[in-house]
């Protein structure tokens, strides 16, 4: 990897340990989409929390479409990490949705449920705006870090208390494009 801030950092894949490969992720998304399609109305409004969940959300939406659903989609940007590997402890809303959630079934999609602050914030926000129901779906559940009393309705995979990258998830804005989920070795 290069150390200069003027040049993009190269992905040194030999320094990343794969936790979930692309095929495993695709298989799990298919299972999740079938469960969501059987539980929720076909016109559910999906609220995607950016930025980390964009790849997961795109694949999930395609799978839901194949399951016969016709969800609407909107995006919200909420973060508590920024460029750090530790949560700031504060949730920041930097881009709000444009759709009205009043009296609608909503599914909030996020990349990782760890402290629970971001997902709890999004769920409470949709509830306060009058959503009929608010369900949650996360790619990864890092239960060991939970600080808020929240559990996701739909979970892709459990993950240990490690900092993961890939499949949309970044480390200081890098590694999002990797087709798998892994951990960058520190040594």
114 as an active site residue: the answer is yes
Does 15 have pLDDT greater than 60? yes
Instruction: Give dist(CA 49, CA 122) in Å, integer.
Output: 8
User: So what's the pLDDT on residue 171?
Assistant: 87
Three-class secondary structure assignment of 61-126 = HHHHHHCCCCCEEEEEEEECCCCCCCCCCCCEEEECCCCCCECCEEEEEEEEECCCHHHHHHHHHH
Indicate whether 70 pLDDT > 60.
yes
CA-closest candidate to residue 56, choices 152, 159, 140: 140
> pLDDT by residue (tens digit) across 140-168?
999 998 999 999 999 999 999 998 999 99
For the cut 80, the answer to whether the pLDDT of residue 139 exceeds it is: yes
The structural domains of the chain, with segments of one domain joined by +, span 22-159
CATH number (3.30.450.20, 3.40.50.2020, 3.40.50.10540, 3.30.365.10) of 22-159 reads 3.40.50.2020
Question: What is the C-alpha separation between 57 and 59, in angstroms, rounded?
Answer: 5
Q: How far apart are CA 33 and CA 116, in angstroms?
A: 23
pLDDT for 82 beyond 60: no
pLDDT reading at 2 higher than 70: no
pLDDT in the model for residue 88: 61
The residue annotated as part of the active site, out of 114, 141, 161, 170, is: 114
How far is CA 100 from each of CA 7, 113, 131, rounded to the nearest angstrom?
42, 25, 9
d(CA 114, CA 92): 16
């Amino acid at each position: 990897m290069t150390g200069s801030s003027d040049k993009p950092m190269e992905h040194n894949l030999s320094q990343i340990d794969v936790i979930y490969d692309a095929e495993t992720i695709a298989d799990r998304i298919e299972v999740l989409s079938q469960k969501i399609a059987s539980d929720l109305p076909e016109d559910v409004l999906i609220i995607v929390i950016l930025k980390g969940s964009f790849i997961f959300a795109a694949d999930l939406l395609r799978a839901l479409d194949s399951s016969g659903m016709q969800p609407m989609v909107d995006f919200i940007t909420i973060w508590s990490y920024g460029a750090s590997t530790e949560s700031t402890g504060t949730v920041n809303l930097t881009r709000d949705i444009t759709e009205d959630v009043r009296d609608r079934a909503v599914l909030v999609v996020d990349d990782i449920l760890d402290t629970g602050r971001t997902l709890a914030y999004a769920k409470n926000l949709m509830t306060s705006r009058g959503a009929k129901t608010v369900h949650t779906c996360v790619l990864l559940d890092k239960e060991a870090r939970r600080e808020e009393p929240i559990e996701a309705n739909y979970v892709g995979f459990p993950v240990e208390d490690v900092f993961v990258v890939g499949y949309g998830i970044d480390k200081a804005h890098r590694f999002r494009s990797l087709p798998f989920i892994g951990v960058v070795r520190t040594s």
